[in-house]
Chain A
Amino acid sequence: MLFRTLKKKDLPRLYDRLSDGNRIVGPTVKGAEKDGKAIYAFEEISDFNNIHLDYTSTKIPAKKFFMPFRETMASFRMKGKEWDKMVSFNMNSPLVFFGMHACDVNALNKLDKVLLGSHYPMPYYAAKRKNMFIVGIDCIPQPYCFCRSMGSDTALHGFDMFLTDLGDHYFVEILSDTAYNFLRQITNEEPAESDHARYMKVAAEKNRKFTAHVDTTDLTKILDMEFQADVWKKWGDQCLSCGTCANVCPTCYCYGVDESVGLDLSRAQKTKLLYSCNLIDFAEVAGGHNFRPESHTRLKYRYYHKHRGFVEAFEESLCVGCGRCGESCLAGITVPEVIASVRGEES
């Protein structure tokens, strides 16, 4: 890994270089909460001044750009008893993500494992993932962030360059040749010994700011042991089965496939819709049998997949600890509370 430093006043120049010929996505202000706090969202940006690099976290993760909530998988042209199928992965130009936090980069790394790294790699995701240029940026832990418990508070890979705020300049980690060539076009320096010390101090200060924690010790076994525990029913009674948690989760990837016929009956479409395992018909089969009819069995399953099933397959959990689900949950259910209660701890 290469390290450089970049003066803060030169960051707009990096943006200018990147936006010269490429689409840019960055954190921007979408509105305000009742208490006046800004609501952030990843959007396509056309002006550097609209990027808010000091953002807390976005309500909706960046996945809408590489895993759209609704995506056409294929279209058909019908010809009597026959048809032709046309497939498109819906990606035709690279996308620059300017200002992505470590948790969201780690979310991509986790998605890579299941969507690219195992059997049947998914081309719809691959086409977008292989055309991303990511500028990561450090963050200030919020009261709901438990990424440090999940080991997702720093990103080791999965980005092109990563910026850490050291006061009047950024400490820059460079991972890709493309990033190196962009950086070369603007003034940057070799980090001094004092920059290393400053970086470590900033990191240590950040670590002290975490207030939310999840104890993941033996969690896979505990989820097996406590599978029949009453505590799940308590959370299930509270859960509205609305699927918001999956909607705002940067790692939730499950989906349903829907086909529809055009009005003139000569065309048809196959559409992929992101889904949620909390929705009532998630595990329903033809004939109407539902393998998870009660809300607590679905909520439990969501935790079981993220912290047990995914660990079995990939040696890590499918949660980056961004806390979005807890923040957005209409019933106020948060991951740290659920896991603490399953562990038998008072919350």
Chain B
Amino acid sequence: MATDKQIFEYAPAPESRAVVDIAPSYGLFIDGEFAEAADGKVFKTVSPANEEVLSEVAQAGAADVERAVKAARKAFEKWSALPGAERAKYLFRIARIIQERSRELAVLESLDNGKPIKESRDADLPLVAAHFFYYAGWADKLGHAGLGPDPRPLGVAGQVIPWNFPLLMLAWKIAPALACGNTVVLKPAETTPLSALFFADICRQAGLPKGVVNILTGDGSTGAELVAHPDVNKVAFTGSTEVGKAIARTVAGTDKKLTLELGGKAANIVFDDAPIDQAVEGIVNGIFFNQGHVCCAGSRLLVQESVQDEVLDALKRRMATLRVGDPLDKNTDIGAINSAEQLARIKELAAAGEAEGAERWAPACELPGEGYWFAPTLFTGVTQAHRIAREEIFGPVLSVLTFRTPEEAVAKANNTPYGLSAGIWTEKGSRSLWMAGKLRAGVVWSNTFNKFDPASPFGGYKESGFGREGGRHGLEAYLNV
């Protein structure tokens, strides 16, 4: 096709790795000091783009959780008693240091996670700094938040975060917790521990009192120990719905306050009057941003029947221009799948899509020989009964369904146990707002998708979890009101 010839070839444009200095091994960050795990266990973290071992980190066990919670409890007394304005100043310092070190952290994040440097540099890191900046400002204004006259911190927060946005999820957890006067023990994901360990160094630079932030690396067993610890007052988890339910069972019958940000199967709904080019950009951004490793990804495209062909033609043309490859290359659109385990899950669900009768399509796309990769893929002819329409794939795989009327779109969009986000593409404002009112989802994007801001609350309905992160609403998760 003539259009193919207009696609420019790009020379490699790798971001320099020299800006980040990764140590061969890291301990646990407890009470302001790095220390080995009590039982000396370690595990390796690799770059998913080439399976290179980046570093060796400690595997925290029950004794380490005990020590970290104890340190956080001890620090809580003074930290919670500090005037809000002083806590604010610590958080402002952290925000500024993150801004200063953002290139280093972006490269680190792309190495450990596999996401394109374009995204870690232009999306993750600016949002991380902004999140600390935003919650810094709340620390001395809690009485103005409309949550009652005397909001009080909860105590020690046990926080477990996923691997898709390691540092951003850390910011979403730690910034509001600290602003509200809590202390934290945070466990980063097993496959992406490094940026949290670098954050420990930022706490040191900011002069943050010891024990206010503790970082425990480890696998799911570490997280389970942490959320079950009797001296933890608050549990915050972002991750899979399955683990979220297990955590909800663990904290049942305790006084622990719980917020969960879990999976999603968001509908991205395109009406026939939508601006098609913009909608296609939104669809691509919705499902291929961050390799589709996004809980609010627009993984179900609901397109009005009358424009189905037009939208799919444009979408396929656009998908053919996506560049898959080296996460550190500044022109890369889609990086590496975060782990072998995740890649296997994506492959399994894609195979199920074919087996159940949906039609699979992917652009011609050369994938690197080592590392974990999956080409951007779409399925047409998907029905609501198909696994690829029901289950969260958490990868660059789009399921396309159709509808005829707005009512049908709402029914299909809501036909899922999840309820995290949704997208609506129409030029008609009243319809967009009507749809937004009917959708059972915590975030609804209209003529845009995957927009995040620290001032804006985020979180799900139904089995996508409960509680909100971000904005004024995000304070409530960390306060006794």
Asked if A and B are interacting partners, one says no
B residues with a Cβ closer than 8 A to A are none
**Which residue numbers of A lie inside 8 Å of B, CB to CB?**
none
